[in-house]
Structure 1
């Protein structure tokens, strides 16, 4: 039997994650997941890819706000779930441009001070509809400020298999999944097409190509060569290194730690196949 073992959200894109026991699925991902994003002077998103320092911001979920703590100095700021500022601006995330709601000048100033660079925080209101990649998904599917899809699924067995190949094992936070399941064979998530959790359907649409963010220690922000060096030896698909499966969601509702994950159908397309090495 496969069952959900861990659930995560990352409220502010590229900042620290929060582990949950229960998660609410919305029209664009897990509730609060990547609904906020830091942007630069050109209104382009900030990422750990270029700013490893972002990993030092840890987030706690309060009853009506986020609490963001900068671990380098212990200071914190609270961000209400619904910004009082109603101003919207166009923001850029990869090749997409969509509307983001400015949060507050006070919050902008706090992040600007910590990062030593002009920075603003935006929120994605419900009225902003950012479509998922039409090459892999049908019209009508939405994403938050995540890289491109509502959720990421990884099997614990996959990480265990990777760690068997590494001199020093890595934690799951290197890969920033939303849903982790236990049971089954390593990389079984690759072939999951249609799955069901607590009566809610989800669909695997694209293997997740991994980047340099996986090489950043989320506590110290030190960079290394792993896990990309090892994964490149046996998880390569063309020019990309794959680990995890991107999901779209078939409805709204609640999922919990311990819920059974049922595989309704599997992929047969070649693009989901990775030859064993």
Structure 2
């Protein structure tokens, strides 16, 4: 058993846009409340991320009780939290291998996003239909046994847990000081050895139990500086990370641990909380 501390918490209301650092998080079976509840899609309703358009990192998000606020260089667009369109008009959108039922946020925000992101074709903002469940693929051989898991628009799992010591070890190898936001985690912990998160199974407190599933395979997004949208032409830190912390089943970089909530729906996790990791 390892004792650790919650060093940071973050949500990303719109998949691929700038995240929001938070001091406390309400836990749900879909992840931290309001995490990745929206995404943008191309004209074929296929998901779009920083992989195609690094400039998405510069689109700021803010949440208030009744609205999502998008900001680009001071220009803002507000989306009511309560859907204002026709909820019977359901679209099919694709995120990775999943066909998801979604609700489109309309033409006005589509035009606003397309103008600021300067995409070659119109993009649209969608949210998950409240009656649709997107199940996590159970076929991955690395996935640990457990109950079925559902998620919103996250790449893989409802939670991504990262270890500050792992980032420190990577930065030491690189001779740089990359920020944790390159890896877009939800929960950042300190107090456990570098990369030991991959060998652990549970993150726990008195009322919370998070199941650590398997390492998160990293992609080109980690080469994008989130403050400037600059993409490193040398493909770092991916190259070094592949050398010092590869995926267990392929020559690819791993960083952070995909995770799901086994106990604690509705509970609050806060920065500074003590937690425990067990094998």
Normalising by the residue count of structure 1, what TM-score does the alignment of the two structures yield? 0.91
Q: Secondary structure at the match of 1:59?
A: strand
Cα RMSD of the aligned pairs, angstroms, is 1.4
Where structure 2 has 5 or more consecutive residues not aligned to the other structure, the ranges are none
Distance of 1:97 and 1:161 partners within structure 2: 38
Name the residue aligned to 1:82: 82
SS at match of 1:240: coil
Aligned to 2:45: 43
Q: 1:139 to 1:98 in 2, by over 3 A?
A: farther
Deviation larger for 75-84 or 173-182: 75-84
CA distance in 1, matches of 2:90, 2:49: 21
- Cα shift readout 1:166-215 (whole Å, capped 9, x = no counterpart): 23210000000000011121112111212213511110111000000000
* Paired residue total: 263
Alignment partner of 2:25 out of 23, 26, 38? 23
Q: Pick the aligned partner of 2:271 from 247, 250, 257.
A: 257
Task: Provide, for residues 39-86 of structure 1, a one-character-per-residue CA deviation record: whole Å limited to 9, x for no partner.
Answer: 000100011001111111011122211111113xx3111111122112
2:119 is aligned with 1:124: no
Partner of 1:100: helix, strand, or coil?
strand
* 1:192–1:203 Cα contact (<8 Å) kept: no
| 2:181 is the alignment partner of 1:173 | yes
Query: Per the alignment, do residues 88 and 139 of structure 1 end up closer, same or farther by CA in structure 2, a change over 3 Å counting?
Result: farther
1-side partners of 2:147 and 2:92: how far apart? Answer: 22
For structure 1, list consecutive stretches of 5 or more residues without a partner in the other structure: 267-277
Matched, 1:184 2:198: no
Alignment partner, residue 72 of structure 2: 70
Distance 2:57 2:219 in 1: 15
Q: Secondary structure at the match of 1:43?
A: coil
Q: Is the 8 A contact 1:194 1:201 kept in 2?
A: yes
1:230 aligns to 2:230 (yes or no): no
Secondary structure of the 1:233 match is helix
CA gap 1:89/1:139 in 2 versus in 1, 3 angstroms: farther
Distance in 2, matches of 1:3 and 1:168, equals 24
8 Å contact kept, 2:195–2:245: no
For the 8 Å contact 1:198–1:254, the answer to whether it is kept is no
Deviation at 1:153, TM superposition (A): 0.4
SS at match of 2:48: coil
